[in-house]
A = this chain, B = another copy of it.
């Protein structure tokens, strides 16, 4: 049976680790998968302190090495993203129903804070469309931005404050795991849905409507647009269309020639400037083309006293803070990671969360609203050749200058130009090709994606997101509740045992049933696994009966089982007793350490006997063969 030189390896039955050891290692894997303390090992105290400072304030890591050569790159990219920040700031503030100047404020303070705490080199700080709309849809549900704009604005600051606290807390408690529950499918669907409703919202600006709905679903928005056809202004629509065509053309150009990315990057600024000049020259507001209106000079006023913790509004502001916080994190962290991978760099998710949190807390004290690392802006930053977070400082300085001297010039910006900017940005976010890819590869992922998309456009943004996450979690539970088991067979002249359905050439062994269990085994799938094993056994007995043989051995390959709980152990014992009663011997193969520890502690190993635990399927089948031959000889 056994080749002469071969060594028999035994299963390692050493005493289980004690609780503290295994608990510590579990905690570490759960909350510190990136092992941030590794670098502190074996260092003298002074260096440890320095490393700790660098760990908490990444700015100390790169600033000492900073030089003029790097600054040239950062200056250029900083100016480029500033030219994007001004129109986007004004537009997205409009989307959140707050004064346009808040959008400019939000690109001045937060980037400075991020420079100190942030660990990504390519991320450009700024406001985002989806979170802006989400904020206004939740806070707008309790206070109308038209009836009481001051209270509304204060609630937006409060929500931003909660976002910051929530994000920083997630980072401090190392709960980045929460962000993991937004799958690619959810994000694709949510982004697509949000982009769609944001585009539709822009019809207000495009047609120059003065009345509009505060709801975001497609039915309400379309009704609001078409029920007010008397308010439509053709002048506005024509100007808007021109801008939109121009912007889409620059995007097209960028796609064709990667080098011309800067054309697309400054296009929004060009649109705003051209729009201002045009509006000033033709007195646009007299022709039904609305303009932004007064923008006061001066830097961010303090808003710390404006935070409103009134219990009437608290549930809404907290809800808005948490949902937008998760969303903003998901986008910001994904962006940071993507570019870091390209540059072969590391971005620490938990550190980023703290950075985003600090940025929003400080922001909410200084008249800024929610900011994160938007994809579009960061991509421009990266393409413009930024080297460090200094580009954010450059952008911040540009915005400071704008706020101090140029702000009043932007008062002529036509709203329709902003609408065109938002629309063209949003059209790039509807990734129908990706959805089709999901459809082709994994129908369930497609469902999750569509749930987010349809939920967002037909119900509301938060419901759409929750719906999609809910389905994802349900799927996760189903995965665990119905793990696949498969029957293994031996590949001819090898010691390999593989799924007989996948490899039809694998041969089964008379009288021995080998099953591979999927993992992990615990309460939610115990009943299923037991039923499935008994079905395999029934099937095997049936086929064997027709050839007048009998099933003598059941081998369970536990190599793939990563963990087991009490219900799972009881299920295995039950299967064992059941098999024993039917005269079938059961053996288990290659249990992993954690599993073996629990099986030993619960005395399962004692009950089936240590000689029924094998390290490889081959050794188990050899032992079975030996037993079979012995019993045949006896007969």
Contact = CB atoms under 8 A, between A and B. Distances in A.
B19 A443 contact: yes
Contacts of A567: 183-185, 445
A519 interface: yes
A569 interface: yes
Interface string A445-487: 1000000000000000000000000001101111111111010
B180 A481 contact: yes
A494 B486 CA distance: 25
B176 A527 contact: yes
Given A30-B482, A522-B476, A602-B441, A566 B184 contact: yes
Interface in A1-46: 5-7, 9, 12, 19, 23, 26, 29-30, 33-35
A526 interface: yes
Given A482-B30, A528-B33, A519 B441 contact: no
Given A566-B442, A598-B441, A601-B441, A477 B479 contact: no
Query: Which of A472, A522, A578, A582 has the most CB atoms of chain B within a 10 A radius of its CB?
Result: A522
Interface in A183-203: 183-186
A304 interface: no
A9 B491 CA distance: 8
Contacts of A590: 498
Contacts of A569: 441
Contact of A503 (B12, B441, B481, B505): B12
- Please provide the 8 A-B residue pairs with the shortest distance between their CB atoms, ordered closest to farther: A183-B523, A560-B560, A518-B562, A184-B567, A445-B566, A502-B593, A441-B601, A441-B602
A302 to B, nearest CB: 38
A530 to B, nearest CB: 9
Given A496-B615, A565-B442, A523 B35 contact: no
A501 interface: yes
B344 A578 contact: yes
A535 B565 contact: no
Contacts of A484: 29, 562-563, 592, 594
A312 B198 CA distance: 41
A372 B243 CA distance: 71
Nearest to A502: B593
Contacts of A602: 437, 441
A558 B183 CA distance: 21
Given A493-B7, A566-B438, A601-B441, A476 B486 contact: no
Nearest to A581: B344
A518 B559 CA distance: 10
